[in-house]
Amino acid sequence: MDDNAIQCAEPDERRAVPGPDAAEESGIAVTFRPLAPGMRRLLFTASVLVLLAGIQLFVFTGQTSHFFAFTIANPLAAAFLGAAYWAAVPIEALAGRQALWANARIAVPAVLVFTVLTLAVTLTHLGQLHLGSQHPAGTQIVTVAWIAIYVLVPALMLILLVVQARTPGTDPPRTAGLPAWLYAVLAAQAIVLLGLGIALFAAPAQAASLWPWRLTPMMAQATGAWLIALGVAAAHALAERDARRLRPAAAGSILLAAALAVALARYPHQFAWRSASGIAYLIFLATMLLTGAVGLARGLPRSGR
């Protein structure tokens, strides 16, 4: 067995490793697949990048014309994106800290889907980006960096996924199942997020009316990219069926719900509180907080077990 994988693993993971007697009886040495070093570095790097993007959008919400790659007129729309970026910080950072691939991979498909879709939005609306001499040099640098990041990150992630797939080992057994009702909520989240996200991304002008605040076509597609990525994460959680593998995503769900609540408190007049979409949005935030809290609590290591 890989000594590094055993040393980095948590106590429960160490106990899951078959002992020498079991290996002799079965004749098979079991090795759990570790998280590849390159993937670990990419996840940590991505966590820093989304932290910075969150600062640009959630802190300097009204100054996107200077500090972001494109101008977002509606501050609630900018704060929503900033909250989503900040929610990605624990997802990627906690995934990068895992010793085993099984406990880290919840972050990867969602990040890959989001970066590819955001690159498509960027290229589709290239004319709205802060490029050209009419913009300050610093703003142009931020914009060029934005484009470079969304070209390089998905390309690197695809390469590292191949490397990760070739890393020898298997998954540890599932030891922390989730209650049946939580699977049902996750399934509903996946359906709603993917359905609404695809609608906003594919038909932004028509689907924008389904959202509880005003969206331009570009912002509708950018929002749709996030919803699709979150829907992929919810569907992935259903496939994993183990709370210990979902801890990064659970922490992200809690932070996302909290940050979006703060965004609503900052810009209440931008939100359609009495609309059907507004009520559905608030209910959805509550379900994300609930699933994140339950998933995180059930996935934490149990002392004395």
- Given a contact cutoff of 8 angstroms between Cβ atoms, the answer to whether 116 and 108 are in contact is no
Query: pLDDT: is 177 or 129 the higher one?
Result: 129
**pLDDT tens digit string along 209-234?**
999 999 999 999 999 999 999 999 99
Half-sphere exposure of 53 (CA within 13 A, CB side): 25
Region 17-40 average pLDDT: 67
**Complete DSSP assignment for 99-147:** SBGGGTGGGHHHHHHHHHHHHHHHHHTGGGBS-STTS-HHHHHHHHHHH
C-alpha 146, offset from chain centre: 18
- Given a contact cutoff of 8 angstroms between Cβ atoms, the answer to whether 38 and 160 are in contact is yes
Q: Which helix (H) or strand (E) holds 271?
A: none
Which alpha helices (H) appear in the chain, and where do they start and end? 3-8, 11-16, 20-26, 37-54, 64-67, 75-97, 108-124, 137-166, 180-202, 204-207, 217-240, 247-266, 276-299
- Given a contact cutoff of 8 angstroms between Cβ atoms, the answer to whether 238 and 190 are in contact is yes
> In angstroms, rounded to a whole number, what is the distance separating the alpha carbons of residues 164 and 98?
14
> In angstroms, rounded to a whole number, what is the distance separating the alpha carbons of residues 227 and 231?
6
> In angstroms, rounded to a whole number, what is the distance separating the alpha carbons of residues 249 and 182?
14
Ramachandran area for residue 275 (φ above 0: left; ψ -120 to 50: alpha; else beta) = beta
Region 119-127 average pLDDT: 96
Mean model confidence pLDDT for the chain? 89
Task: Grade residue 300 by pLDDT with cuts at 50, 70 and 90.
Answer: confident
Region 68-72 average pLDDT: 95
> Is residue 41 scored above 60 in pLDDT?
yes
Predicted local confidence at residue 13, as pLDDT: 52
Least confident of 252-261, 270-279, 289-298: 289-298
